[in-house]
Chain A
Amino acid sequence: MLGTRTAPLSVPQGRKAFQLRRLVEPIVRYTLYAVIVIVFLMPFIWMFFGSVRKESEIHGMMFPFGWHTIVPVQWTLENFLDIYGLTEAGRSGGLRFHRGLMNSGIIAVAVVALSMLFNTMAAYFFARLPFPGKKWLTAYVLATFLLPFEVTVVPLYLVISEMGLRNTYWAMIIPFYASPFIVFLLSQFLGSIPKDLDEAAVVDGANYWQILWKVIFPNALPAIATAALIEFQFIWNLFYWPLIATSSLDLQVIQVMIASQTTDRTVYWGRTFAGLVSAVLPVMLLFLFGQRFYFRGAVLSGMK
């Protein structure tokens, strides 16, 4: 950013330095690209390739370091078949990652659907509806930002047990049907939609509910998509809460499953890699397709 700006202002006697710079700059830049790719991508590449090779290869080709330390010689889907319980070896090891993926999927979809409904409604209230003393309600919502999630997990556990929801899907869905952060994020956005739109709808005899879904919702879709992606990723990646909220193996989500499988059997690296790939692929693909929403979400959460 600083380097390129000097170019148009270079004075004649600086010409040689300028030309040298134009030569060196791309070299430096592409070297940095390479370093970044190695540091941030290599672990993932190692993981992906590790999941589609034979166990013996992973162990046998680790040393000395070479091309085949990373890239398989013989490609196989065996590890995936094992962890999804599709082979005898996998079944006898009690592996059923399909169940974990299904649990995570059910919970994440339910949370995203519910939270989009209730968060959008709440954001609509804060951004556009008349109500006396709304600032107190705003303070009530914002004050929850002071409560750090990982520290309130033990207290939340006490509430969920009292409600008799331990070891149910509900334990992992209900606490998240509304989120103060998403309400805040959406209400910022809903506030920026022109007010004439609602007024025109009021003249046409529409009520609040109709205005929200027919007028506001279509105009707020990019923000709502951002919120949905943030929420999905948050729930899919959640570990601490599902770990303690359920002890039943049938309800284990994928994140808890991969952690418990490997602490028990660290020997099977191929299966572990396959489990990691299964756990990461859904969010990775969503990220690749919805990148700009993610970056916007990250920047907006800068206000959290």
Chain B
Amino acid sequence: MTNEQKVSFEEAMNKLEQIVDKLEEGDVPLEEAIAFYKEGMELSKLCHNKLKSVEEQLTQIITEDGSKQNFAIEEEE
């Protein structure tokens, strides 16, 4: 799982889908199938982690001078 930082969620999902398709087709040699399965489980875990690690992301606003500031919704009165 060293490549966790490099793979985007989208890539990981697509890869996972491809692996599932391949495994379901069933004509993969067993050793490869096991390798695919391992990779698939890792990808699945990776995706899961990415989705779960909800360190509440930031909402920022670009100010007049072009810098970013945290943004909070102003409740309308």
A and B: bona fide binding partners:
no
Q: What residues of chain A have their CB less than 8 Å away from a CB belonging to chain B?
A: none
Q: Which residues of B contact A (CB under 8 A)?
A: none
